Amino acid sequence: MGNEQKENSNKYSIIIPTYNERLNIALLVYLIFKHLPNVNFEIIVVDDGSPDGTQDIVKQLQSVYGEDRIPLRARPTKLGLGTAYIHGLKHASGNFVVIMDADLSHHPKYLPNFIKKQMETGADIVTGTRYVKGGGVHGWNLMRKLTSRGANVLAQTLLWPGVSDLTGSFRLYRKSVLEDVIGSCVSKGYVFQMEMIVRTTRKGYNIAEVPITFVDRVYGSSKLGGSEIVEYLKGLIYLLLTT
């Protein structure tokens, strides 16, 4: 009973950066509402000028769920993931912030697990991990699995962050912690998530993990380019020298 009251006193701002996610955003919003029936939350959509009509779909969703539940905070053009979170954070009214992808690779069914884990542990950050029992990846070929796993093992060996999944982007943050950490992050794209988690551990924040299964994007094309491994290694060297 105490837990229930505690949960109800928190508000969760779910920040979802979008670019050409017209085919995914409605289903994602529906699933979030389905899996968080008794939770106070808002879904902040940060759209970077999608030409596919993503914003039109979000406006239709606002007419169903209410503008206060799904604030649209659009930007004129593609400005990057890190700045999308900063932009969403400025508009967040919750005391906790969830970051997740719009492409359905992060299933909203895990959100109650994130909230429960945070309440049980008092953690400042709860991060979803593919690399513990109960977690995994669906829809990746062996090469991509090995690359991702190798990237995480390499980063753990060199940086010792104490977290099993450094490059995942499905996380719950105490809002004050996210505000504290995000300002000092300079990396872009793939490396940004890793820098965020390394900097939070360096600052001594408490991190908990929940297992998730990552599903390769359902509709649309992957935005990862062939240079991601080079960028990752450059980012790793930068973090080694600066943290």
CATH number at residue 115: 3.90.550.10
User: Which residue matches tokens 């929940």?
Assistant: 210
Write down the mean pLDDT value for the chain: 81
Spatial separation of the C-alpha atoms in residues 164 and 239, rounded to whole Å: 17
In a domain, 237, yes or no: no
Secondary structure percentages of the chain, helix, strand, coil, to 5: 45, 20, 35
Instruction: Tell me which H or E stretch contains 41.
Output: strand 40-47
pLDDT exceeds 50 at position 194: yes
pLDDT exceeds 90 at position 59: yes
pLDDT greater at residue 139 or residue 156 = 156
Helix ranges (H only) for the chain are 2-9, 22-35, 54-65, 81-90, 111-121, 142-159, 175-182, 189-202, 228-242
In a domain, 64, yes or no: yes
What digits encode the pLDDT tens for the residues 4-25?
445 469 999 999 999 999 989 9
Residue 97 pairs with which residues in a beta bridge?
13, 173
**Total domains present in the chain:** 1
pLDDT greater at residue 4 or residue 65 = 65
Going from the C-alpha of 128 to that of each of 55, 212, 213, the distances in angstroms are 28, 6, 9
- Read off the pTM: 0.79
In a domain, 97, yes or no: yes
pLDDT exceeds 90 at position 199: no
What digits encode the pLDDT tens for the residues 168-183?
789 999 999 999 999 8
What digits encode the pLDDT tens for the residues 68-103?
999 999 999 988 888 899 999 999 999 999 999 998
In a domain, 188, yes or no: no
Using 50, 70 and 90 to split pLDDT, how confident is the model at 139? very low
Neighbours of 167 (CB within 10 A): 18
Q: Which domain holds residue 41?
A: 12-140+165-182+205-220
pLDDT given at position 163: 63
Using 50, 70 and 90 to split pLDDT, how confident is the model at 125? very high
Instruction: Tell me which H or E stretch contains 17.
Output: strand 11-18
In a domain, 58, yes or no: yes
In a domain, 132, yes or no: yes
Spatial separation of the C-alpha atoms in residues 90 and 66, rounded to whole Å: 20
Neighbours of 23 (CB within 10 A): 16
What digits encode the pLDDT tens for the residues 21-41?
998 999 999 999 999 999 999
Look up residue 109 and give its DSSP letter. Answer: G
pLDDT given at position 3: 47
**What dihedral angle (degrees, nearest 10) is formed by the CA atoms of 217, 220, 14, 207?**
30
Least confident of 112-116, 127-131, 161-165, 169-173: 161-165
User: Which residue matches tokens 């990552």?
Assistant: 214
Beta strands per DSSP E along 48-176:
96-99, 125-129, 136-138, 171-174
In a domain, 119, yes or no: yes
Using 50, 70 and 90 to split pLDDT, how confident is the model at 208? very high
